[in-house]
Amino acid sequence: MTPSPAPTASTGVELPDALLCARAVAGDQYAFQALIRRHAPAMRSYAIRLTGSTADADDVLQETFIQAWRKLDTLEDAAKVRSWLMTLTSRKAIDLIRTRKPNVPIDDVAETHAKEQTPEQSAITGSEIGALAKALKTLPKQSQEIWVMREVGGSSYQEIAELLDISPASVRGKLARARIKLVQEMEGWDS
């Protein structure tokens, strides 16, 4: 038996996330599509903030949707599907960022630093980014996620807390420890 399309705002009925999630877990592709349509704009905006690229954000979303479909049955609280999807998006974005070789496009360097940099200054900037990427890898995974969401993505403490299902105080503490560790790691960096 083929499931019927999930009622959405277009049919005048707005089903709660928990019900759509339950139907999707039962194999209803229309319910899953309704969840994705509902949350994809926020997920995409967040992925763009984290990756700095619409193309990379679209890749992140594609991977996130695939993982969400496969792992939806592992979600413990279906009412928190938005938070879960945003966490998946964050993790996929961080995975993508980790796989990149640190490089800085000349246009970005020109915008963030003096208008004209010498090749030596550009090389130093690239080395600093490489050193930061290496230092980030020394942090626990959740601390890496928190640091990237806050420092790269610009997320608030509350947003991070909701996405990772921890308290805002815990976010602040882990972020403070991550910053201290990064400063210590970067102190040994030689330019």
Residue pair 64/88 in contact (Cβ under 8 Å)? The answer is: yes
CB 44 within 8 A of CB 57: yes
pLDDT at 120: 61
| pLDDT for 1 | 47
User: What pLDDT, on a 0 to 100 scale, did the predictor assign at position 139?
Assistant: 85
CATH architecture of 1-100: Orthogonal Bundle (1.10)
Domain 105-191, CATH among 1.10.3720.10, 1.10.10.10, 3.40.50.620, 3.90.870.40: 1.10.10.10
- State which of 61-70, 78-87, 136-145, 155-164 shows the largest mean pLDDT: 61-70
Predicted confidence at residue 61, as pLDDT, reads 94
- Domain extents for the chain? 1-100, 105-191
Smallest Cα–Cα separation from 98: which of 124, 130, 126, 66? Answer: 130
The pTM of the full predicted model, rounded to 2 decimals, is 0.57
Burial level of 84, CB count in 10 A (0-12/13-18/19+)? buried
Q: Using the predicted structure, report yes or no on whether residue 18 has a pLDDT greater than 60.
A: yes
Q: Return contacts of 177-185, CB within 8 angstroms, 24+ apart.
A: 177/143, 178/139, 178/143, 178/144, 178/146, 178/147, 179/147, 181/135, 181/138, 181/139, 181/143, 182/132, 182/135, 182/136, 182/139, 182/147, 185/131, 185/134, 185/135, 185/138
pLDDT at 82 over 50: yes
Pick the range with the lowest mean pLDDT from 1-5, 20-24, 175-179, 186-190: 1-5
Instruction: Please give the C-alpha separations between residue 28 and each of 12, 120, 123, 144, 180, in angstroms, as whole numbers.
Output: 19, 57, 52, 35, 47
pLDDT value at 147 more than 80: yes
- pLDDT at residue 172, as a whole number: 92
* CA–CA distance, 15 with 86 (Å, rounded to integer): 20
